[in-house]
Amino acid sequence: MKKTLFLVPILLFVLFLQAQTPNLLLKPFDTPFGVPPFQQIDNEHFLPAFEAGIRENNAEIESIINNPAPANFENTIVAYDRSGEMLGRVSPIFGGLRGANTNKRLQEIARETTPLLTEHYNNIRFNQQLFNRIKAVYDQRNSLKLNAEQLLLVEKIYDDFARNGAALPQQQRDELKELNQKMSMLSLKLGENLLAENNNFKLVLDNEADLAGLPEAVVSAAADEAKKAGMEGKWVFTLSKPSWIPFLQFSERRDLREKLYTAYIQRGDNDNETDNKAPFLELIELRQKMAQLLGYKNFAEYFISDQMAETPENVYAFLYKVWEPSIQRAKTERDEQQAIIDKNGGSFKLASWDWWYYSEIVRKEKFDLNEDEIKPYFSIENVRKGSFLLATKLFGITFEKRFDIPVYHPEAEAFEVFDKDKTHLGILYIDPHPRASKRGGAWCGTYRNGSYDENGKKIYPVVTMVMNFTPSVGEQPALLSWDETRTYFHEFGHALHNLFADGHYNRTSRSVPRDFVELPSQIMENWAGEPELLKEYAFHYLTGEVIPVALVEKLNKAAMFNQGFENAEYLSAAILDLDWHTLNVNASTDVNAFEKSTLNRIGLIDEIVPRYRTANFGHIHSPGYAAGYYVYRWAGVLDADAFMAFKSSGDLFNQEMAAKFRKYVLAGNAWYEGMDAYVKFRGAEPSIEPFLIRSGLK
């Protein structure tokens, strides 16, 4: 009893201190460039800030609908676009931290705020008085003497409401509200389950003989991982790509390769408390109901109707066109690997967990090239410098590391970005390495989008690149694989898109179809391997020697290596995604049987597993890429054709072409969309030929 009484005043004192701590999320930030004051934000600030943001947003909506003046562009469209400033400040910070540096409390808050926010946005989306005012402006838009950006803003905002059911009868609007609530919670659950599955498995080795074939750097990284896990003297391999991929590439222990790879592909499909099959199936059913309520046959038709591809049929036709040469090439690659197994007296058939190991042997034999030979030239610092240099050569922008800007984790770095006239362009965060608090994969987002305030003052973007790349080991810097190097340039392309966005309104500042958004990212990958750029950033981390011409030639000769596999594993996942969102499913659908049926139909060989299986397909667990995983190859046609324009001009850094690419593709999204933007840049619609040739499929 005495102990309890003693704790009471301490608890009260702690609560008092928390009450005295100002919630910095409630007002604009007093920090360099207005970036989030990460170190001063407490987890407990988020829920009150969301609640305050909802109250503020509700008051703004009330002001719009109660305005006695007839609806016009300024008092309705612009007023709506400017509303929700506090939520627009808080949500990206919360979402960014949940993805890159989450913890148990943030996950709990997400479960509290997700239904709260879904209800709030439902109330706005289905507010008939608000929709009537928006529709009134939309109906007279062509007589209002609006400029191109203003006209696009009116159309985008109207479509946001109409496509989400604002014009439906009350009963159907109520059904959609309920569906939206359920879908948001299911997406949250699927993401949390996948993070748990990623973190729950470790391959722990304590016998040095089990490390046979592994390069020293891979062994050292596994020893570091073991040390961090409190198992010093052992070796730990995880389900992060920098860990499991090199193990599969080099380990001579076939049984251990199988164990690690099986754990990776089985994520979310282990019939445990974090199994994703049931919640995914429920989510698919709800999406199907939502699409049908909105007048579409299925969710894919709903989603794709607003994209460049226009219809699921167009997407299927495109994917199958690439699928046929891809699977044929993959079969050839399989046979080459099986021949090596047979030659060496192996009495087994190539399996999916063998592919990385034997393809590495084939690459060594065919091109005299392996990852260990490449990596020393691609320290993460060199790759960062290379991407920065590319942006300078193309667009004249420069980067300066800042030590006075708050960061959310010690591994994250902050850079100020300057335009070619040396004026401020934005802030870029780079967070490169895996950790338990970070979800898998690589992505680019914003803590603040670029736009303009109501007085015409520029609001500069705060952009973040988040990756899960090979970390440093001891005194050795982080050395990236070629795939990681290309991914770095890829995410940097997204960052440039965010930095250059120049629209005057929130809704249209960077408004592009999902199957266009990968063009700015993927085109940057093309420059990464060009000798003209490599000689300026690829230096050996020990000797400072520039990457030898002979090694560059090997790298380029091997560019089409394993393309059958890479395309087949990607395309099978994209087709699986499309099948889930076009075919009828119900509560009795067997998730794994459905998946197997798709893969059998398209003829995927047993030796290849889709890049993502249904239960761990994070892209489609949330709405962003649902029925849209195809976009990477669709945009691949655009980026291959666009890069060909630079290449065929005779100048990889053609200034006239770079200026047009910035103007129409990167910065002009508020004026030009999708194919219109591309044609403005290129002068014609893209040809698929450069893509097929680059992929070794023609």
Domain membership flag for residue 230: yes
Residues 230, 326, single domain; the answer is no
In three-state secondary structure terms, 444 is strand
Calculate mean pLDDT across residues 558-586.
Answer: 96
Q: Are residues 115 and 65 in the same domain?
A: yes
Question: Which of 12-21, 88-97, 226-235 has the lowest average pLDDT?
Answer: 12-21
Query: Residue 579: pLDDT band by 50, 70, 90 thresholds?
Result: very high
Whether the predicted pLDDT of 120 surpasses 50 = yes
Domain boundary among 587, 614, 641: 614
Asked if residue 398 is part of any domain, the answer here is: no
Contact 568, 608 (CB under 8 A): yes
How far apart are alpha carbons 698 and 691 in whole angstroms?
A: 9
Encode pLDDT of 30-70 as tens digits: 999 999 999 999 999 999 999 999 999 999 999 999 999 99
Q: Taking 90 as the threshold, does the pLDDT of residue 1 lie above it?
A: no
Of the residues 144, 167, 190, the one at which a domain ends: 167
162 and 224 in one domain?
no
The separation between CA 502 and the C-alpha centre of its own chain, rounded to angstroms, equals 22
491 among known catalytic residues: yes
The answer as to whether 365 is a domain residue is yes
Instruction: Note the pLDDT of residue 467.
Output: 97
Q: How many CB atoms lie within 10 A of CB 74?
A: 12
State whether 123 and 70 are in the same domain.
Answer: yes
**What tens digit of pLDDT does each residue of 168-193 get?**
999 999 999 999 999 999 999 999 99
Q: Quote the Cα angle for 665-666-667, to 5°.
A: 110
- Pair (120, 211) in one structural domain: no
- Give the β-pairing of 462-466 and 424-431: parallel
Beta strands in 191-260 (DSSP E): 203-205, 235-237
- Establish if 429 belongs to a structural domain: no
The pLDDT of residue 14: 43
Asked if 564 and 327 touch (Cβ cutoff 8 Å), the reply is yes
Mean pLDDT of 660-684: 94
Does the residue 495 lie in any domain?
A: no
The reply to whether 209 and 144 lie within a common domain is no
Rounded Cα gap, residues 441 and 458, in angstroms: 32
Give every CB contact of residue 584 below 8 A, 6+ residues apart in sequence: 288
- Nearest residue to 289 via CA among 183, 185, 187: 183
User: Does 118 share its domain with 44?
Assistant: yes
**What percentage of residues in the chain have a pLDDT greater than 90?**
93
Q: In this predicted structure, what is the pLDDT of residue 202? A: 97
Angstrom distance (rounded) from CA 678 to CA 494: 16
User: With bands split at pLDDT 50, 70 and 90, how would you rate the model's confidence at 246?
Assistant: very high
Is it the case that residue 522 has pLDDT exceeding 70?
A: yes
Measure Cα distances from 10 to 4, 6, 224, 230, 633 in Å.
10, 7, 39, 33, 59
Buried b (16+ CB within 10 A) or exposed e, 565-591: bbbbbbbbbbbbbbbbbbeebeeeeeb
Q: Specify whether the CB–CB gap between 424 and 52 falls below 8 A.
A: no
Per annotation, catalytic residue among 491, 518, 525, 566: 491
Domain of 117 in residue numbering reads as: 22-167
Q: Place 19 in a pLDDT band, splitting at 50, 70 and 90.
A: low
Residues 145 and 207 both lie in one domain: no
DSSP collapsed to 3 states, 652-687: CCCHHHHHHHHHHHHHCCCCCCHHHHHHHHHCCCCC
Q: Are residues 230 and 366 in the same domain?
A: no
Q: Is the confidence at residue 10, as pLDDT, over 50?
A: no
Mean pLDDT of 103-132: 97
Examine the domain organization and report whether 306 and 358 are in the same domain: yes
Give domain status of residue 475, yes or no.
Answer: no
Give the mean model confidence (pLDDT) for residues 285-310: 97
Is 358 domain-assigned? yes
- My answer on whether 261 and 333 are in the same domain is no
| φ and ψ at residue 16, rounded to 5 degrees | -65, -45
Confidence of residue 237 (pLDDT cuts 50, 70, 90): very high
Q: What is the C-alpha separation between 638 and 636, in angstroms, rounded?
A: 5
Which residue in this structure is represented by tokens 């709800």? 286
Instruction: Please state, in angstroms and rounded to a whole number, the distance separating the CA atoms of residues 204 and 207.
Output: 10
> Of 148, 167, 186, which residue is a domain's last?
167
Q: Is 435 a residue whose pLDDT tops 90?
A: yes
Both 97 and 39 in one domain: the answer is yes
- The chain-wide mean pLDDT, for the chain, equals 95
Non-local CB neighbours of 214 within 8 Å, separated by 6+ positions: 222, 246, 247, 250, 251
Q: Is residue 547 part of a domain?
A: no
Looking at the predicted structure, is the pLDDT value of residue 6 above 90?
no
Greater model confidence, 1 or 321 = 321
State whether residue 320 is helix, strand or coil: helix
- Token representation of residue 561: 């290596």
Asked whether the predicted pLDDT for residue 474 surpasses 90, the reply is: no
Task: Give how many domains the chain has, as a whole number.
Answer: 3
pLDDT in tens, 612-665: 999 999 999 999 999 999 999 999 999 999 999 999 999 999 999 999 999 999
Q: Is the pLDDT of residue 20 over 70?
A: no
Catalogue the E-assigned strands of 411-542: 413-418, 424-431, 443-448, 451-452, 458-459, 462-466
Q: What is the pLDDT of residues 67-85, one digit of tens each?
A: 999 999 999 999 999 999 9
| Alpha helix stretches (DSSP H) within 380-512 | 380-395, 482-500
